Structure 1
Amino acid sequence: MKSFQFFVIAILFVITSCTIDKTDYEAELESEVPEFYEFKEATSFTSGSYKISIEALNGIFYKGYNELHLKVVNTQTNQVVTPSNVTFLPILSNTDGSKTSCPHEYNLGYDAVNKYNVGYSVFTTESSTATTWKLYVNFTADNQIYKVEKDITVEKQSNKNLNMTSFTGKDNEQYVIALIAPQKPKVAENALVAGIYKYNKPTIPAGVFPDPTQFSYSKVSGYTLKLDPRMPEPSMGNHSSPNNKDLVQQNDGLYQGIVNYTMTGNWTLNFILQNQNGLIVKGTLVSTDFTPGVEGVKSELFIDTLF
């Protein structure tokens, strides 16, 4: 009889725990997932007779992946010009005087149809009193070289589906993984797109600041990002979903796979990053056990999402 009573109490404890967790989880879902598709001017500056405008989604630089459009306009004629040798370098300064960068497109390409240069920057932290960002942009127009710099503000990314993570791999290299799509997932199989970047350790002494050779990143080539999505909330029991596909590199250098969200809520994308030789760079397997009432254990490499 005592054993039966203990069993009933244990069941009630699990149900109560799940109810509390479920309530908190539902409260978190009350926040609407933002979705932005319009590029607006995030910052601008002038040099000589030229205005340089940099556009980003929603007109804001966010922590994480940012596609960027750079336009150059002759302020005397109000005409868009086609600059050459356009370079873009973001620099993060810390209160201790150290300076670092983040994954970025240094040599910007040109979109002839829309008449702007295009690139990206994966800002790794928000601006604060301890960390400040500055952009260094160079370009050539009318056979003259222009060098400009501008302080910018990087905001917190409020959309968890665009989260990022940075880490040191088992190969002692510094990596960044940034989610790019989908902005607003559906309860379905979703194309999951991510950028995977590695810091290129300098091989030569630094030149005149800001020397781009000291702040270089590249997209990693030929890796595989193995995916195991789970709902880690105690009330969800750490369950996963079928038909997910690992992320592999596409022709544009980004990595794409499939994540199957079977319901809305908190999901953890558990990853294992393997290099082109199949060696694990970072990440661990997670348990496949159903664990109601217990928070799911995550891989050592993961990104949380919410929709």
Structure 2
Amino acid sequence: MKSFNFFVIAIFFVITSCTIDKTDYEAEIDSEVPEYYEFKEAVSLTSGIYKISIEALNGTFYKGYNELHLKVINTQTNQSLNTSEVTFLPVMTNADGSTNSCPHQYNLEYNAANGYYNGYSLFTSESVTTASWKLYVSFTVDNQKYEINKDVSVEKQSNKNLNMTAFAGKDNEQYFIALVSPQKPTVAENKLVAGIYKYNKPTTPAGTFPDPSQFSYSEVTGYTLKLDPRMPEPSMGNHSSPNNQDLTQQSDGLYHGVVNYTMTGNWTLNLIMMNQNGLILKGTVVPTDFTPGVEGVKSELYIDTLF
């Protein structure tokens, strides 16, 4: 009897999936998902005989998570430096003159195997007429410190699999979650990677601009990101999928889990973020009701994806 009931429900799901209007989603579903794997120079800065080259995927800074490769090159010898202390600070200036930053790695680490400094920047908005981004970079050679800055453009992220969200937690801290991969999921169990960051509230008055202590962010440590993926559009009834795994932090500082996409289309990653002590800082449990014809309920904390 139970098998028969399950069969009836399955048939009903297929029928409603095919008959309920999906016009609000068709344009998105038909859009092509971009995929980039080549790092190219996004911007270069110069100071005296030194050139700073910063590479990003597709040679472009996008809203959301950006892995960065930075080189300090002596233009006279064409040699890259590998012993310099390198700092990186993105600052956004608004039309009213106010400034803010975004999660980033301030002190970059040299990657000897690949010959560049590793870093990242999670740009929280694209460049617009009322808000512009500038990069402040410093490096030290023979005990002399060089400081350079340059305006850069941050583009809209058209790949929804790399979306991000910013929010205040129940601990009154400001958090940021950004999807890092996969860029282009498949109908399968996909390794899901995200970064979770927190704004470090200044404890001292601002010094000389740009004072990095006023624009400080850090990776959160030891949190858990509980995952419940759903297809929220009315024709899908907000159904979920099996074999998903919550995201936990690994040695690279990022959070890794598994999301099982059972078909292409619009998916919502419903999230519950818990700290090291298991306390929920943001997020709510999503109802398990099958709701054909009605858009699915989302968690208090979620990120939409599409492939």
Instruction: Name the CA distance, whole Å, in 2 between partners of 1:20 and 1:153.
Output: 39
Does the Cα contact within 8 Å between 1:72 and 1:83 map onto a contact in 2? no
CA offsets 1:88-117 (integer angstroms, 9 cap, x no match): 000011112211111000000001122111
Q: Specify the code of the residue in structure 1 equivalent to 2:259.
A: V
1:24 CA displacement: 4.3
Residues 86, 137 of structure 1: 8 Å contact kept: yes
CA distance in 2, matches of 1:83, 1:43: 22
Q: Aligned in 2, Cα 1:306/1:44: closer, same or farther, shift over 3 Å?
A: same
- In the alignment, what sits opposite 2:252? 252
RMSD: 1.6
Correspondences of 1:112-123 after superposition (within 5 Å): 112-123=112-123
Deviations 1:101-137 (A, max 9, x none): 1100000000112211110000000000111100000
Which amino acid in the other structure matches residue 303 of structure 2? I
**Structure 1 stretches (4+) deviating beyond 4 angstroms?**
14-18
Q: Distance in 2 between matches of 1:171 and 1:17?
A: 44
Counterpart for residue 79 of structure 1: 79
Structure 2 length as normaliser, TM-score?
Answer: 0.93
Q: Specify the SS of the correspondent of 2:146.
A: strand
Give the counterpart letter for 1:172 in structure 2: N
Cα displacement string for residues 50-78 of structure 1 (whole angstroms, at most 9, x for unaligned residues): 11110000000000000001111111222
Gaps in structure 1 of 5+ consecutive residues? 1-10
Partner of 1:140: 140
Match of 2:228 in 1: 228
Indicate whether 1:280 and 2:283 are aligned: no
Residue identity over aligned pairs, in percent, reads 75
Are 1:82 and 1:141, in contact at CA under 8 Å, matched by a contact in 2?
A: no
| TM-score relative to the length of structure 1 | 0.93
**Per-residue Cα deviation, 1:8-29 (whole angstroms, up to 9, x for no partner):** xxx9xx96995421x4434322
Distance 2:17 2:196 in 1: 41
CA deviation digits over 1:239-261, x for unaligned, max 9? 00001111111111111111000
> Bigger shift: 268-277 or 80-89?
80-89
CA distance in 2, matches of 1:18, 1:130: 44
2:36 is aligned with 1:36: yes
Give distance in 2, aligned partners of 1:16 and 1:287: 19
Distance 2:261 2:18 in 1: 24
